[in-house]
A and B are shown apart, each in its own frame.
Chain A
């Protein structure tokens, strides 16, 4: 019965050169003419798997069989020639060119030495009609709405002969109406025998249009299911869950005064999507407040607002009674706020600078480290040596380039700086993502220790185990809103969390309001 599968990926392993195992023994297959959901949290390995199917990445081991033939997909061109097309989350379009020009790029019809523009428009119109995907061939891509851009991308793949379409979170950028339209079109394509892979973590959408689904977690496949046979709750349980139970020793928190007070933050992003919708909460001295949620539900934007990296449309945020909205990072730091940024390579460190230079970068102008117009090198050496020792950064010397260290040690340099400048509030955004177990444990312990010493900690983490066990109380963000607040995390189950994270359940406004300790 192998013929019913157009694609079979067998025992796929992918280890990136930095040692991260993104896929481990994954089996994935597609039946002709089905819409197949590929589900999982960010970092679960969905994108990696699909990049291998589209020839953008090569599997470390494993076999890919297309139409019964074992195939090596060495580049996207090869994948296209095998009838595979991919619509990326970030569109591969040239904004200043017209829709028709984008459509025929690389295969432009000619009349003599000139491009046959009329023909290009005709090709576009013909295909738009054939596949029932309405686009405006003569408009510039920069001027068309996101929904139409997506159709252009789908048409681009179809024009190049794709029979298998991979859509990477296609609805993430669409409005509800556009999503509905897309679904109608996808169903149309399915009826004509096209096979579609639909990457998403929105349960309602999955239930609505897919036939089967594959769930991934931590680089492994959690199985293939008929969509009609599994409930949303089942899916949520398979997608979200703890693989390892950690045990960080901590005493019960004794929170006192409110340090961070956030009220009614609203923010609409550049694509007109409401990323923060009336966010209000407090973080008190001596507690760790965790923020859980599937990535992309406003957590990043919230941190940006709290560290003056962006300006909200409305709302307030105060640290010890002083507004920290849009006052610049220097003043935010002066107010006692520290940030362990999500992207440590981009915002956490300067890779080519030394460890010493990195740890003093937030206080390079301070009196203690300067004598007159020059640095007091002795004081700087002492400080950096002390921090290296205290945070057990594994390095040759404090003069070593930070970029040369391992991920865990780089993160230790970041936290050494951020934790040692007497903060009143620590914003820890994915503080242990992608680092080794030892460094992870160290940073977690440090966070607990600091909170117990009277510092307020706001912890954002996509790692469910981390956010549930480290936090004293917890909020769940979904779709730019706070979906739930739990005063006590010890009695929470993974299932319950999953339901709030994926938007199946929502607490009442009264329950959520308890997070504001007025």
Chain B
């Protein structure tokens, strides 16, 4: 136990929490914005899978991580707009659209990967891990001055620039929601679409913008997964982060800052799971830890919120 604790109180451990939290945070921001606009996008997982695959492929074929990164963003946005088209214009249930995207994100990406990489060395590949070298990954940044501070330098410096961007986006999303007229319209549409429509706000347009934003965030998250977190895309590599983000959104009260704290909590749980297995705990025991923490914390927050919401009717004075 002492061994484990000393293992955890290292800069590397805290560094890994931030690294693991980043893709969850992107997806959480996506979930927050669509929720504010009045619907749920459960297809974040699938969107991230597509972005991850195409990001790594384009990075390989163009020999430029930056082009791969941009493609990941574009793919995320286009796929989300497609979801919007099905859900808003063809009036399919958005949950079903999300499930479809998730299933395509799991099976479809593998299929596409095999088809597209068929010409490499004469046989199809089930992942792009062999194609992506570290030079095709999103670069890490060491921050001058901070990197030299003992401990803190080891925690904060040397991350992928997408990790820093994730936390910056947390702030920017909050500003967008609460300080711009776009954010005002998003919140109005989500809460009372009739009220928004009655003063000339286009509900359809706002919903498209919200889902495109969720696609953009998924693009960031996907690119991070295949071009920074891991070198290359592999099957089901997003591993439930898109779903955990939905939990983080709810746990964070639907707000950016709360969502960030929840993402960090999940990052912490996963980092701990990894740590446990590294000190010799059976990985079959260690790997469920993050999911157990998800369920427990959701239950706890659920109870707390219910207590707060309960207002006896008699208190209004009869």
A80 within 8 A of B: yes
CB 8 Å contact bits of A263-280 with B (1 = contact, 0 = none): 000001010100000000
A156 within 8 A of B: yes
Smallest CB–CB gap between B89 and chain A, Å? 19
Q: A106–B192 contact, CB under 8 A?
A: no
B317 within 8 A of A: yes
Q: B187–A106 contact, CB under 8 A?
A: no
B196 within 8 A of A: yes
Closest chain B residue to A101, Cβ basis: B184
Q: B318–A268 contact, CB under 8 A?
A: yes
Residues of B within 8 Å of A95, CB to CB, are 191-192
Known contacts A96-B191, A313-B318, A105 near B184 by CB under 8 Å: yes
Secondary structure of the A side of the interface?
Answer: loop
CB 8 Å contact bits of A37-54 with B (1 = contact, 0 = none): 000000000000000000
Q: A160–B199 contact, CB under 8 A?
A: yes
Q: A106–B191 contact, CB under 8 A?
A: no
Stretch of A109-117, A180-188, A296-304, A484-492 with 4 or more beta carbons under 8 angstroms from chain B: A109-117
B185 within 8 A of A: yes
Q: A93–B316 contact, CB under 8 A?
A: no
Q: B318–A105 contact, CB under 8 A?
A: no
B201 within 8 A of A: yes
Closest chain B residue to A311, Cβ basis: B313
A107 within 8 A of B: yes
B198 within 8 A of A: yes
Known contacts A96-B187, A105-B201, A106-B201, A114 near B179 by CB under 8 Å: yes
B194 within 8 A of A: yes
Closest chain A residue to B175, Cβ basis: A114
- A205→B90 CA distance, assembly (Å): 48
CB 8 Å contact bits of A18-54 with B (1 = contact, 0 = none): 0000000000000000000000000000000000000
B24 within 8 A of A: no
Residues of A within 8 Å of B185, CB to CB, are 105-106
CB 8 Å contact bits of A100-129 with B (1 = contact, 0 = none): 011001111010011101000000000000
The residues in B between 173 and 187 inclusive whose CB is less than 8 angstroms from any CB of A are: 175, 179-181, 183-185, 187
A97 within 8 A of B: yes
Q: B181–A110 contact, CB under 8 A?
A: yes
- A113→B175 CA distance, assembly (Å): 10
Q: B317–A105 contact, CB under 8 A?
A: no
Q: B194–A92 contact, CB under 8 A?
A: yes
Residues of B within 8 Å of A399, CB to CB, are none
Smallest CB–CB gap between B258 and chain A, Å? 15
B195 within 8 A of A: yes
Residues of A within 8 Å of B196, CB to CB, are 94, 105-106
Residues of B within 8 Å of A156, CB to CB, are 199
Closest chain A residue to B199, Cβ basis: A106
- A188→B162 CA distance, assembly (Å): 59
Closest chain A residue to B189, Cβ basis: A94
Known contacts A108-B184, A114-B179, A115-B180, A93 near B192 by CB under 8 Å: yes
The residue among B175, B198, B313, B317 with the most chain A CB atoms within 10 A of its own CB is B198
Smallest CB–CB gap between B2 and chain A, Å? 49
Q: A92–B198 contact, CB under 8 A?
A: yes
- A91→B192 CA distance, assembly (Å): 10
Residues of A within 8 Å of B316, CB to CB, are 272
Q: A107–B199 contact, CB under 8 A?
A: yes
Q: B192–A115 contact, CB under 8 A?
A: no
Known contacts A94-B191, A268-B318, A106 near B179 by CB under 8 Å: no
Residues of B within 8 Å of A97, CB to CB, are 184, 187-188, 191
B280 within 8 A of A: no
Smallest CB–CB gap between A138 and chain B, Å? 14
The residues in B between 190 and 234 inclusive whose CB is less than 8 angstroms from any CB of A are: 191-192, 194-201
A392 within 8 A of B: no
Smallest CB–CB gap between B188 and chain A, Å? 5
A76 within 8 A of B: yes
- A107→B179 CA distance, assembly (Å): 14
Q: B191–A115 contact, CB under 8 A?
A: no
Q: A115–B181 contact, CB under 8 A?
A: yes
Smallest CB–CB gap between B310 and chain A, Å? 15
CB 8 Å contact bits of B66-95 with A (1 = contact, 0 = none): 000000000000000000000000000000
Closest chain B residue to A56, Cβ basis: B198
A361 within 8 A of B: no
A493 within 8 A of B: no
Give A residues with C-beta under 8 Å from B. 76-77, 80, 91-97, 101-102, 105-108, 110, 113-115, 117, 156, 160, 268, 270, 272, 313
List 17 A–B pairs whose Cβ atoms lie within 8 Å, in order of A's numbering.
A76-B198, A77-B200, A91-B195, A93-B192, A93-B195, A94-B188, A94-B191, A94-B195, A94-B196, A96-B187, A105-B188, A105-B195, A113-B180, A115-B179, A115-B183, A270-B313, A272-B318
Give B residues with C-beta under 8 Å from A. 175, 179-181, 183-185, 187-188, 191-192, 194-201, 313, 316-318
Pairs of residues from A and B, 3 with the lowest C-beta to C-beta distance, nearest first: A108-B181, A106-B199, A92-B195
6 extra interface residue pairs, beta carbon distance < 8 Å, beyond A108-B181, A115-B180: A92-B192, A92-B195, A107-B199, A114-B175, A115-B181, A268-B318
